[in-house]
């Protein structure tokens, strides 16, 4: 189903355009809009009944910086160089310097492009790091920029931008982007699945065979095909082979289309998939600041991260290093103020009791909290560098322990961020780093820009839109066939 | 250099055989011997001046079990099922059950095959887990089988088998294996580099273009090609793309041939590489038992593993989770008895002083050791499950801290274990899991059998030889062209 079709084996084409875009999430919409703007005749095919994809289900954060109008209005200083410095650090090891460079250089322009499509961004900051603001405010910290160790590497600046809407922003974002696609009169074939790339004998990708309304259609793409069909979090077998820890997450972020079809189509034509073990992972809640005054513990009763960092960092470290087996400890003061619908599994008057009840190794939780509280009384955390304003000694019983273990049913969410290796212009690259002619990819069908690190929430939509746009512009001027 | 050559573009072949094996380490030798034994006309090409490869430089441990003659003679009970249970657990997440099943089922036969080739195994056990015994004894624990948590999952049995020679066994092993290749009159072209696979229009691999003495030779392989040309630890750019943490290791285990050529040749013909981020990693020393009475600390002054486990587990967890930034803490008693040429970087009369001198977060080392010593006084380690016989309270000053940080020049060694995806018979598989006809791979050119887990020292040579043999048998009966 995902093997190639030879050009000479295609008797006739049902439709002929310059560019076929497969998938109408944010990556596909961005690629289509830019290809069209560059003069190309574009056709979009979308597997489901309407566009939107996983982008529409998402929090809608877009990672942009360097001094966007929202950053400025909210009083945050940022620069291209500062953003670059942060992203290089957070993306290590294996940061993709070339992509990060252009991503930062063009970030303000990218913001204006979104506004030109009609996406409204309120000039305001929301002072809770999270998946998205719960108000219609725009700007949030989404990658721990103001936390250790990053706050010593680059000047902290929030860069998560959400369209102006209460709660999640993905729905509004995609509604507007789909309207933009409509305004540009870009044809969209919905209920249409990509089945095979059409490849000429010399390896040039020049079409896509799709299934539409039960029938097979052959689409000729004179300049090439953009694969923007999502990742593979919905494909358990692919996760088992490439990213088995992601099979532990209880809430797979995606649509049924995120089954790896896009990646496999790209591989069938010679594209190489990279960093396939990586994922974005989040704890089940948008952590409010008071909650970060608590302490995360692993099963050995140890802390493993500064709790005030962005909870996506907690999620990644928690799943990849601690197998998703975490607890959150709070005292009476921090518990009352902070929790959002979370119930403690254990409550006790002393750490000793709590430790015994929850089954930690004897003494482990007590020792951890003795050290933590001793430092907290001085307003500091020399072990993990939590910020003073998030540090209070946990000394008000009862103490509560929230069970965040994925094995015990805690809801962890995640999606894949590995995928086809692409150039800065979205060209799909083969094992040697050479472009597969006529083939482009964007969004989670491609490996995200941030190397083996984790660039935080908003990075995926920013990558999808920014590199999707570049792919659209590049394919419009591609030689093709 | 690593792109394919079309069959129709090859004007003539300089030599024609059934099977071409590229690389004469253990995988290549095993494949060649079995293909020859099955009646095939085999030619081996080897890039360097003589066979041996990274196998000859290795400790020479081969992971075999299920009740080998050595295990029996040394008084260890083991069974296929017990070995399977252990390997499935240690290989998680993502254990490759199909490969592990056949690997265990045939392990005793595999032992006898080595003896038939002339490899001597002394019927003896060496009671220090390590890279290899320092005597000519055979059997060692190489994967923490007798340590937590594995000792509760399967009955502990040592499975690392070394040929009978003092110190490292790889040299003798490969000397004997190369003699076996010679006895079978299998021709070997040395100083010969594989440059391009020859592929027919229907995708069948049917030859290899090599460079020999400055000239290009086209080798026809009627039944196919076995890629057994090592991994990619010597290729920094490939490591940066796929396994950036491995660029931190200071001692790359391999020969110059481990530059990824084999993997890239396989990819050029449609093979898929998987688990490319993974490596085997070891600390700079063969840890003697007394040393494991010490305590490993990360930069936050925390323990992170049971110190009595096989040091490869320490290496993997240490590099992948702790970025290679470790310390080993010993007291006067454990230090004097245990250290093998290691010098402490800090010595102090109290933990407080040691902690301050080495720059740990204040109180962190002291708290860790308070808890550790309290439990050790009771002969137990409820936090990580270290075995009672390796537990002593560290209470005899002075205390010594050995700096094992890779960033400070400590010698960590490692090599890649990701590579081409292969079937149980060594067929190279494409992205969809279908064989690339005529193409086989073994050794570190292929992804190791153990999924995303880490099966310990000896696993790589065992994988190379066992699945190399299977590849040799399979290609001898392959349809070919």
Cα separation, B150 vs B85, whole angstroms? 10
CB atoms within 10 A of CB B313: 20
Rg (CA), chain A: 23
- Final residue before a domain boundary, out of A408, A432, A465: A408
Which of the residues A202, A260, A367, A368 would you substitute to probe the B interface, choosing the one with the greatest number of B C-beta atoms within 10 Å? Answer: A367
Residue A413 counted as domain residue = no
Task: Please give the C-alpha separations between residue A81 and each of A104, A158, A450, in angstroms, as whole numbers.
Answer: 8, 15, 16
Cα separation, A408 vs A106, whole angstroms? 44
Residue contact B94–A244, C-beta within 8 A: yes
Clarify whether residues A207 and A238 are in a common domain. yes
Model confidence at A76, in pLDDT bands (50, 70, 90)? very high
Query: Domain holding B374: CATH number?
Result: 3.90.700.10
Clarify whether residues A271 and A240 are in a common domain. yes
What's the pLDDT at A393? 97
Cα separation, A128 vs A136, whole angstroms? 13
Confidence (pTM): 0.96
Q: What is the pLDDT along chain B (481 residues), one digit of tens a residue?
A: 458 999 999 999 999 999 999 999 999 999 999 999 999 999 999 999 999 999 999 999 999 999 999 999 999 999 999 999 999 999 999 999 999 999 999 999 999 999 999 999 999 999 877 667 789 999 999 999 999 999 999 999 999 999 999 989 999 999 999 999 999 999 999 999 999 999 998 999 999 999 998 999 999 999 999 999 999 999 999 999 999 999 999 999 999 999 999 999 999 999 999 999 999 998 866 566 778 899 999 999 999 999 999 888 999 999 999 999 999 999 998 886 555 667 899 999 999 999 999 999 999 999 999 999 999 999 999 999 999 999 999 999 999 999 999 999 888 999 999 999 999 999 999 999 999 999 999 999 999 999 999 888 999 999 999 999 999 999 999 877 7
Clarify whether residues A5 and A130 are in a common domain. yes
What's the pLDDT at B167? 84
The residues, ordered by sequence, that sit 6+ positions from A132 with a Cβ below 8 Å of its Cβ are A59, A60, A61, A140, A160, A162, A167, A168, A169, A286
Examine the pLDDT at A342 and tell me if it is beyond 90. no
What's the pLDDT at B1? 45
* Partner-chain residue, chosen from A240, A247, A264, that has the shortest CB–CB distance to B432: A264
A2–chain B Cβ distance below 8 A for any pair: yes
Cβ contacts (< 8 Å) between A245 and chain B: which residues?
93, 452
- Residue B325 has which token pair? 């930034």
Cis peptide before A231 (omega within 30 of 0): no
Clarify whether residues B367 and B431 are in a common domain. no
The residues, ordered by sequence, that sit 6+ positions from A103 with a Cβ below 8 Å of its Cβ are A87, A449, A462, A463, A466, A467
Clarify whether residues B155 and B224 are in a common domain. yes
A107–chain B Cβ distance below 8 A for any pair: no
Rg (CA), chain B: 23
Distance from CA of A149 to the nearest CA of B (A): 14
DSSP string, A138-177: -EE--S-TTSTTGGGTS-----EE--SSSS--HHHHHHHH
Cα separation, B221 vs B43, whole angstroms? 9
Higher pLDDT, B134 or A203: A203
Cα separation, B191 vs B324, whole angstroms? 37
Distance from CA of B300 to the nearest CA of A (A): 6
Cα separation, A328 vs A351, whole angstroms? 13
Clarify whether residues A251 and A373 are in a common domain. no
The residues, ordered by sequence, that sit 6+ positions from A109 with a Cβ below 8 Å of its Cβ are none
Query: Domain holding A229: CATH number?
Result: 3.50.50.60
Q: Lowest-pLDDT range, A2-11, A30-39, A229-238?
A: A2-11
Residue contact A432–B3, C-beta within 8 A: yes
Spatial strand order in the sheet of A295-298: A295-298, A326-330, A399-403, A346-348
* Partner-chain residue, chosen from A94, A240, A364, that has the shortest CB–CB distance to B383: A364
Cα separation, B333 vs B101, whole angstroms? 44
Residue A208 counted as domain residue = yes
Interface pTM (ipTM) of the complex? Answer: 0.94
Clarify whether residues B38 and B103 are in a common domain. yes
Angle at B207 between CA B202 and CA B208, to 5 degrees: 125
By percentage, how much of chain A surpasses pLDDT 70? Answer: 97
- Residue B218 has which token pair? 């086209």
Decide if B426 contacts B471 (C-beta within 8 A). Answer: yes
Cis peptide before B370 (omega within 30 of 0): no
Clarify whether residues B375 and B444 are in a common domain. no
B135–chain A Cβ distance below 8 A for any pair: no
Clarify whether residues B72 and B201 are in a common domain. yes
Residue A69 counted as domain residue = yes
* Partner-chain residue, chosen from B93, B272, B384, that has the shortest CB–CB distance to A267: B272
- Taking a contact as any Cβ pair under 8 Å apart, which residues of chain B between 27 and 46 contact chain A? none
- Final residue before a domain boundary, out of A389, A408, A427: A408
Which of the residues A94, A232, A447, A450 would you substitute to probe the B interface, choosing the one with the greatest number of B C-beta atoms within 10 Å? Answer: A94
Q: Is A69 helix (H, G, I), strand (E, B) or coil?
A: helix
Higher pLDDT, A258 or B457: A258
Distance from CA of B383 to the nearest CA of A (A): 5
Clarify whether residues B107 and B192 are in a common domain. yes
What domain range is B300 assigned to?
284-408
Cβ contacts (< 8 Å) between B242 and chain A: which residues?
274-275
Model confidence at A340, in pLDDT bands (50, 70, 90)? low
Cα separation, A355 vs A132, whole angstroms? 34
C-alpha count within 13 angstroms, C-beta hemisphere, residue B438: 24
DSSP string, B186-240: --EE-SEEEEEEEE-TTS-EEEEEEEETTEEEEEEEEEEEEE----STT-HHHHH
- Taking a contact as any Cβ pair under 8 Å apart, which residues of chain A between 173 and 212 contact chain B? none
Clarify whether residues A453 and A304 are in a common domain. no
Domain count across chain B: 2
Cβ contacts (< 8 Å) between A92 and chain B: which residues?
244
B301–chain A Cβ distance below 8 A for any pair: yes
3-state helix, strand, coil in chain B (%, to 5): 35, 20, 45
Which of the residues A361, A364, A434 would you substitute to probe the B interface, choosing the one with the greatest number of B C-beta atoms within 10 Å? Answer: A361
Clarify whether residues B236 and B345 are in a common domain. no
Residue A294 counted as domain residue = yes
Examine the pLDDT at A266 and tell me if it is beyond 60. yes
Mean pLDDT of A168-195: 97
């Amino acid at each position: 189903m995902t093997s190639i079709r030879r050009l000479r084996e295609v008797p006739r084409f049902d439709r002929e355009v310059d560019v076929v875009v497969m998938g109408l999430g944010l990556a596909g919409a961005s690629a289509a809009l830019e290809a069209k703007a560059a003069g190309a005749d574009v056709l979009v095919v979308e597997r489901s009944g309407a566009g939107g994809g996983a982008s529409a289900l998402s929090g809608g954060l877009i990672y942009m910086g360097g001094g966007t109008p929202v950053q400025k209005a909210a009083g945050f200083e940022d620069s291209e160089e500062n953003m670059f410095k942060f992203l290089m650090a957070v993306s290590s090891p294996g940061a993709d310097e070339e992509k990060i460079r252009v991503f930062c250089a063009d970030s303000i322009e990218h913001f204006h492009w979104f506004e030109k499509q009609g996406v409204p961004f309120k000039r305001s900051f929301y002072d809770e790091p999270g998946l998205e603001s719960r108000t219609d405010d725009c700007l949030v910290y989404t990658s721990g920029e103001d936390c250790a160790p990053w706050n010593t590497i680059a000047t902290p600046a929030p860069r998560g931008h959400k369209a102006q809407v209460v709660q999640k922003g993905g729905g509004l974002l995609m509604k507007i982007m789909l309207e933009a696609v409509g305004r540009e009169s870009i044809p969209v074939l919905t209920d249409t699945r990509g089945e095979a790339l059409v490849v000429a004998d010399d390896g040039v990708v020049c079409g896509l065979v799709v299934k539409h309304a039960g029938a097979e259609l052959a689409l000729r793409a004179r300049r090439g095909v953009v694969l923007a069909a999502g990742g593979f979090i919905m494909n358990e077998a692919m996760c088992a082979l490439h990213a088995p820890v992601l099979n532990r997450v209880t809430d797979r972020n995606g649509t049924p289309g995120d089954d790896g079809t896009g990646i496999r189509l790209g591989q069938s034509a010679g594209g190489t998939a990279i960093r396939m073990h990586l994922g974005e992972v989040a704890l089940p809640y948008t952590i409010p600041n008071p909650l970060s005054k608590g302490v995360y513990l692993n099963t050995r009763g140890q802390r493993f991260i500064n709790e005030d960092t962005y909870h996506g960092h907690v999620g990644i470290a928690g799943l990849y290093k601690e197998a998703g087996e975490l607890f959150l400890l709070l005292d009476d003061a921090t518990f009352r103020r902070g929790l959002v619908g979370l119930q403690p599994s254990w409550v006790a008057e002393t750490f000793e009791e709590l430790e015994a009840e929850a089954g930690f190794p004897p003494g482990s939780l007590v020792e951890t909290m003795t050290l933590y509280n001793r430092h907290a009384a001085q307003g500091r955390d020399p072990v993990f560098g939590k910020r003073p304003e998030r540090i209070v000694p946990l000394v008000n019983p009862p103490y509560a322990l929230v069970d965040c273990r994925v094995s015990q049913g805690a809801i962890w969410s995640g999606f894949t961020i590995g995928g086809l290796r692409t150039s800065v212009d979205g060209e799909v690259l083969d094992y040697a780093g050479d472009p597969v002619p006529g083939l482009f990819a964007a969004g989670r069908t491609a490996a995200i820009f941030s190397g083996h690190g984790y660039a935080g929430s908003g990075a995926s939509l920013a990558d999808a839109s920014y590199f999707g746009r570049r792919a659209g512009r590049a394919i419009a001027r591609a030689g093709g066939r």
